[in-house]
Structure 1
Amino acid sequence: MSMGADYSSEAAAATAAPKTAEARVLTVLGLETSCDETAASVVRQMPDGAVQVLSSVVHSQIAEHAPFGGVVPEIAARSHVEAIAGTVRRAMEQSGVDFEGLDAVAATAGPGLVGGVMVGLSFGKAVALARGIPLIAVNHLEGHAVSARLAAPAPYPFLLLLVSGGHCQLMEVRGIGHMTRLGATIDDAAGEAFDKIAKTLGLGYPGGPALEKLAATGDGARFDLPRALLGRKGCDFSFSGLKTAAAKLAATCETDQDRADLADAVQKAIARQLTERSARAMDDYGTRHEHRLLVVAGGVAANRTVRTELERAATACGFEFMAPPLAYCTDNAAMIALAGAERLALGLVSDIDVAARPRWPLDEATALADPLYKTGRKGAKA
Structure 2
Amino acid sequence: MTGGAEFHLEDSEGGSRLVLSGPYLVSTIGEIDHELREIEGGFASVDLSQVSEIDTVGAWMACTLATRHDAEIVGAGERAQRLLKAVESANSEAEIAAPRLPIHRRVPVEIGKKVFNAGYGIASVIGFLGQIIMGFGSLIRHPGRFRVKALVHQLELVGVNALPIIGLMSFLIGIVIAQQGAVQLQQFGAETLTVNLVGRITLRELGVLMTAIMVAGRSGSAFAAQIGTMKLTEEVDAMRTIGISPIEALVIPRILASTFMMVVLGFYASVVAIIGGAVVGDLMLGIPFWTFLARIQEVVPVYDMWVGLIKAPVFGLIVALAGCYHGMQVSGNSEEVGRRTTMAVVSAIFAVIVIDAFFAVFFTEIGWG
Q: Where on the TM-score scale, by shorter chain, does this alignment land: which range?
A: under 0.3
Q: Which has the higher helix share?
A: 2
TM-score (norm: length of structure 1): 0.22
Higher relative contact order (CA 8 A, sep 6+): 1
More strand by share: 1
With the length of structure 2 as denominator, give the TM-score of the two structures: 0.23
